[in-house]
Homo-oligomer: A and B are copies of this chain.
Amino acid sequence: MPVEDSRDTASSETREAMMQATYRALQEHGYADLTIQKIGDEFSKSKSLVYHHYDGKDELLLDFLSHLLEQFETDTIDDEGDAADVRLEAVLDHLLPEAAEDDHLDFLRIMVEIRAQAAHSPAYRDHFTESDRLFQDRFADLIRDGIDEGVFREVDADRVASFLLTAVNGAMGRRVTADDEVIPAARAELDEYLEARLLVDDG
């Protein structure tokens, strides 16, 4: 017989509603000014449910990050039916779109702010170590597929994958903290890098 822990087992509908409230509160207030009260204000159900499930804003935000990662693990951006070079371009188009929409920029701002907490907080650092590892492994698997298919050269797939993630993270970070024009510029040079380093010459 499963034992219910009343603290941890919000119904999935309640948890989803709390995650959406967290996102709206982050959008509006940013990390520094966020409080669990402000998240409660965005919550459609009883505020006390939020306090019941989380001890403070960081506990809630760490669950919010886990929730995002669960969504990422089930996403289908990468269509494994295509050739690896086509798949890689599609993933980069998704991560570094030519013209980022407001929702995408809001999301990047939120992630840059939360990620910065990892500089001093081991719990946040553990999360981003895990999520970077997942992203990097997906890139590396895609690169190994391309090597097997003969469209990519015999590179160190993990190192190229790490560099792709570094460049993507760097471009996202600069976009929301400094430079409106950085994403298309980074994407163009990433394509130069991929062509010179990864793609097998056709001619």
Residues on A lying within 8 angstroms of B by beta carbon are 30-32, 108-110, 112-113, 115-120, 124-125, 128-129, 131-132, 158-160, 162-163, 165-171, 173-174, 176-179, 182, 185-186, 188-190, 192-193, 196-197
**Main secondary structure on chain A at its contact with chain B?**
helix
Q: Which residues of B contact A196 (CB under 8 A)?
A: 192-193, 196-197
- Report Cα–Cα, A119/B190, bound state, in Å: 24
Cα of A178 to Cα of B166 in the assembled complex, Å: 11
Assess the A189–B173 pair: CB atoms within 8 A.
no
Copies in the assembly, this chain: 2
**Residue numbers in B under 8 Å from A125 (CB-CB):** 177-178
| Residue of A32, A110, A170 most packed against chain B (CB within 10 A) | A170
In the assembled complex, the CB of A4 is this many whole angstroms from the nearest CB of chain B, namely 34
Q: Which of the residues B120, B128, B170 comes within 8 Å of A169, measured between beta carbons?
A: B170
Residues of B contacting A197 in the complex (Cβ-Cβ under 8 angstroms) = 189, 192-193, 196
Bound form: Cα–Cα A197–B165 in Å: 19
Give A191 to B117 CA distance when docked, in angstroms: 30
Which residue of the partner chain B has the closest CB to A192?
Answer: B197
With known contacts A162-B182, A185-B162, A128–B193 Cβ distance under 8 A:
no
Q: Are A118 and B163 touching (Cβ within 8 A)?
A: no
Given A160-B189, A170-B173, decide whether A120 and B128 contact each other with a Cβ distance below 8 A: no
A–B Cβ pairs within 8 angstroms, 27 of them: A31-B116, A109-B120, A112-B119, A113-B119, A115-B116, A115-B173, A115-B177, A118-B176, A125-B177, A131-B178, A158-B185, A162-B179, A162-B189, A163-B190, A165-B174, A166-B171, A166-B182, A166-B186, A167-B167, A167-B170, A168-B170, A169-B173, A170-B173, A189-B197, A192-B196, A193-B196, A196-B196
Which residues from B are CB-within-8-Å of A170? 165-171, 173
Minimum Cβ distance to chain B for residue A25 (Å): 13
Q: Which residue of B lies closest to A127 (CB)?
A: B178
Contact A129–B167 (Cβ < 8 Å): no
